[in-house]
Structure 1
Amino acid sequence: MKQVAAPNLKRPSPHYRPSVLRRLKKDKWLYLLLLPGLLYFLLFKYVPMWGVLLAFKNYQPFTGFWNSEWVGVEHFRIFFSNPEFFMLLRNTLILSFYNLVFFFPAPIILAILLNEIRVAIFKRTVQTLIYVPHFISMVIVASMTYVFLTTEGGPVNELLYTYTGRKIEFLASPDWFRPMIIVQTIWKECGWGTIIFLAALAAVDVEQYEAAIMDGANRWKQIWHITLPSISSTIIILLILRMGNVLENGFEQIYLLLNPLNREVAEVFDTYVYMMGITQGAFSYSTAVGLFKAIIGVILVLGSNYLAKKFGQSGLY
């Protein structure tokens, strides 16, 4: 019986990489779906970046952008020598530190607690309730804070007066400004932040929990040895992204609670840029402050990503 020789099929080299055109042709529909997002970032994020040149000019609206005087790093020199610089830096870093310590772990803890709920209808109800504050405007949140904490008929101060005989100036006291900001942030964004962590928890292999139960591990040991290590990469990536916003505390939230009595602890870079750029018309100076924030954010992201890779964690790239 005559044997037919098998066709000589050449296996592609392990180092073979298809050309760019071939990859585009093969996955053309995926790239087409990617196109709107690319156009958004190109038009609204990268094209406006030429505006950072304002930081190196003495911009005057009547002379125009290109005809304004070039002053180099003069605005940066004025900003760094400003006595308020260290106050702004201190207030911004303290608020960012409080957010990292108190707010960042809150969605993780809440997501783990929700993941332990076995009654589906109760779990969905709780999730819906904790998502709602995210959609409430910060103006409404600040108004609610004022209504609850004001000394003129606020329920919190009325209770304090009933049981202690005194009232506390929450809205005007520098000591209470930072706790108010952190509590607002946790109440408004904690539930929404659980979405990513719940998605990561859903990908954890159930067989690991079954094996742990067979070994006699209780709930706390399962969370510590299985749940947290399984979502550690997600936690690290979000922490790296959070580091990029260390000098950004949210303008609207702080501005709505800022007043002359608590300014020494409430004034941050975001509100300072608004005050100098919009209310006083120092466009070039405020652009320099914003550029300083952006550069520090990039350095922190790259540095934290490097440290994460150094310690064997998966970084952003």
Structure 2
Amino acid sequence: QLDYYAKEVFMMKNLDAAQIKAAFAVCGCIVFPSDVQKSIYDGLYREDAAVTIYNGIPLQQLDVFRSSHDREQVRRSFGYTQDDFVVLHLGTVCNRKGQIYTARSVAKLIKERGCANVKCLMVGARYIRDHEMKYIEEIKQTVLSNGLTYVRWEDTAEFDRGKARVTVMDIQSDVLRFYMAADVVVVPSLNEVLPLVICEAMAFERPVVCSRIDAIPEALDDGKEGFLVPPGEVDALADAIEKLHANPSLGAQFGKQGRERVLRQFAYDVMISQYDRIIDNLVAGRKATDPPIEKAAPAAPPL
């Protein structure tokens, strides 16, 4: 597995499992982005060298965007009205990210459950790998076979934007506007570590519906900041979205609690303070996992 990730995933052809294991063995501190990730490498490192620090998000940047943009105006830029319920799926369109389950659940909500105002926006399509292009086509055919409309954003005239039930947009570098437009953010992935899209959505006070896999349950509690559902189960995904569709106040409650969670767990200042603690410990000859060193209060300025 180590060889596969080194050579195939990270394309580091000169790195092998033996070198990785040797590096783990001599490191005085190894930082993992989640407890699940740490458990994967259990046995390769000293227990007193392994620390979990969650990746932070730039809250200040997000908050500047929120305060300087009007939500309804952002929605109108996509062609969505106040009455639309927008399901956002943000991430590279590929099998691992599970967009096909979003498409099927949206079709079920519209056709079988009377959620007539549901619209879905998928952001992250790219047309450079055969398997990804095939997957995009599968999503398209799933939508069309259910009698729903499907468009590629880049091929849509301005006056037709927001009309289709499912819109797929190419991969984007600026994604904050999508959180502003969304009513719910879905992450029905089959394989992840801990995607920051969840944290960013919660920072925007959006409810999230995510697969209960890997480190995702470390970011939210089911029924508190959003819903956790079994991966690949369309009915469970549709059920969770339907609950939020039927109860806007529940979505607002999840959003507020998600924002509070981000402030506690995923803000840059939280992450930086944890790295500061580790560095202080190592410089002082202590273990990375030791409690923080008590620092003297700064001296009062002279009178």
Would you say same fold, with TM above 0.5? no
Per residue, is there more strand in 1 or in 2? Answer: 2
Q: What is the TM-score when the length of structure 2 is the normalising length?
A: 0.23
Larger Rg computed on CA atoms: 1
Q: Which structure would you say has the larger RCO, counting Cα contacts within 8 Å and 6 or more residues apart?
A: 1
Per residue, is there more helix in 1 or in 2? Answer: 1
